[in-house]
Amino acid sequence: MSIAENIQAAQRRIRQAQSRSSSPPKEVRLMAVTKTVEPQRINEAIAAGINLIGENRVQELLAKYDRLHLDGVEVHLIGHLQRNKVKYIIDKVDMIQSVDSLALAEEIERRAAVCQKVMPVLVEVHMGNEESKFGVEPQDLPDLLKQMALLPHIAVRGLMTVPPPCPDHEQAKKLFSQFYALFLDIRAQNLHNISMEICSMGMSGDFEAAVEEGSNLIRLGTALFGARNYQPIKGE
């Protein structure tokens, strides 16, 4: 199928998942994850209605940036971000979804202050036992949020997670349910300068389970663009 047809199919599956949910989110934003995807194919997705893209790597984003048709399109950085690379993307992204430490938050604060902007961010939470995954541990999340609330050039808009692969739909739902409960708990605390608007969970292999359990931002790569080609993007 074409990229446009894949987008339509994903949107149908999102609506069906919402209909199965006991407390469906009013709106589920569909992010096109563009890791390893050539600019012309990203632009094809944008022409088909995608208005939110997510890049994993700073270097790849910079290599593609000037060739993307970004009018009316949000760009999020969703991969692990090293502090020494914040300066390269602070003026190019609309949100950083992968803040996982106070040190990174403080660097974003410093660079955003120089640009005289407030950077919306999500805090990445580590769910599951995968040592290779990044994110703050759930028990450490409240303290991190309270410290981040003191940074005037950062606006915490919610939480993000990348859970481990699950063997079946019900297992995935269980993990997403735990994450959504954490999201709701933080929201109920009404922390100063902390807004729990966005619950970002769910990717190509599990997004229906995520929507059923409350996700309002899903991140789809393979489901839209097909299997990844890991050849470097020209210019990278």
Domain ranges of the chain: 3-225
Place of tokens 């040592």: 131
Average pLDDT over residues 165-175: 85
CATH node for 3-225: 3.20.20.10
- Please tell me the predicted confidence (pLDDT) of residue 45: 98
pTM: 0.93
Q: 50 φ, ψ to 5°?
A: -70, 130
- Please tell me the predicted confidence (pLDDT) of residue 61: 97
- Please tell me the predicted confidence (pLDDT) of residue 234: 56
**Which of 99, 107, 104, 164 lies closest to 136, judged by CA?**
99
CA 30/CA 43 separation, integer angstroms: 15
Six-digit token pair at 39?
């600019």
With contact defined as beta carbons under 8 Å apart, do 81 and 58 qualify? yes
CA 48/CA 134 separation, integer angstroms: 32
Average pLDDT over residues 215-232: 87
Average pLDDT over residues 54-65: 97
Place of tokens 């100063």: 192
- Please tell me the predicted confidence (pLDDT) of residue 136: 95
Q: What average pLDDT is seen over the chain? A: 93
Q: 217 φ, ψ to 5°?
A: -150, 115
Q: Is 30 helix (H, G, I), strand (E, B) or coil?
A: strand
Q: What are the pLDDT digits (tens) for 7-16?
A: 999 999 999 9
